[in-house]
Structure 1
Amino acid sequence: MQVVIYVNFDYICMMNSEREILYYKKYFIDFFMSLDDGAKKKIAYVLDMLKTQQRLNKNFVKLVRDGVYELRAGHNGNIYRAFFIFDEGNIVMLFNGFQKKTQKTPESEIEKAVKLKNEYYASKP
């Protein structure tokens, strides 16, 4: 019996590493390093999905304002958010992150992300 395996290489290449995840300054890294290992793993999992999947549902990614998106992750009853943009090419640029303590995302965190986005674009050549 002969077994034929069909592999769609275009799909594999596209899904393997569709986006490059970068961070602007150290805001995201400082936030990430302050978390416990379980929360880090959950955020890394969502970042990996963002890197490799064309579309994520609103449980993981949501447009907030002015081209700034919110990456959403939860662990042990805690809710974590990190702001980012989709930049030229396949770049995802991470900005600030925080642990959410209220139902609504604090306006100060959104404003900080928008400010960092504007700062980032102003610093680009």
Structure 2
Amino acid sequence: MKKQRHRQIIFYKNYFEEFFLKQKEKVKAKIIWTFDLIEELERVPETYLKHIESTTGLYEVRVQQGSDIFRIFCFFDQGRLVVIMNGFQKKTQKAPKQEIEKALRIKEEYEQERK
């Protein structure tokens, strides 16, 4: 039986792929598992998908594998489409400012291309 999908994940350009290919197999598996969860659950817990404070529409996919924590930025387009952008390994309490700025630039680039 096919599972119902509440969202569809797409990857914008190769920003995410560059990050993903550098990860260990266990981390890749956990990222894929988390993406499946985001597509399938009607309400995704903040443990896995959280709005980034003081941004307009920027979210982070939250992945933890053992003691390693990863964040993958994304945003919604047309409500049900999750556009995946850059990712990084989290080493500090807050997401680094330059990573958020990079994500906002990519989002802006995407929106310009959609016009």
Match of 1:27 in 2: 15
Q: Using the alignment, how far apart are the partners of 1:63 and 1:19 within structure 2?
A: 16
For residue 89 of structure 1, report the CA deviation from its aligned partner: 5.0
**Which of 53, 56, 65 is the matching residue for 1:66?**
56
Give the 4+ runs in structure 1 shifted more than 4 A.
Answer: none
Match of 2:24 in 1: 36
Match of 1:75 in 2: 65
1:86 and 2:76 are equivalent in the alignment: yes
For residue 17 of structure 1, report the CA deviation from its aligned partner: 2.0
Gaps of 5+ in 2: none
Letter of the 1:99 counterpart: Q
For residue 80 of structure 1, report the CA deviation from its aligned partner: 0.4
Letter of the 1:40 counterpart: K
Match of 2:87 in 1: 97
Contact 1:66–1:114 under 8 Å retained in 2: no
- DSSP-derived class of the 1:98 partner: strand
Contact 1:72–1:79 under 8 Å retained in 2: yes
Gaps of 5+ in 1: 1-11
Q: Deviations over 1:20-55 (max 9, x none)?
A: 211111010111111001001111111101111111
For residue 91 of structure 1, report the CA deviation from its aligned partner: 1.1
Letter of the 1:96 counterpart: N
**Which of 82, 99, 114 is the matching residue for 1:109?**
99
Q: Using the alignment, how far apart are the partners of 2:65 and 2:79 within structure 1?
A: 31
Match of 2:108 in 1: 118
Q: Percent identity, please.
A: 38
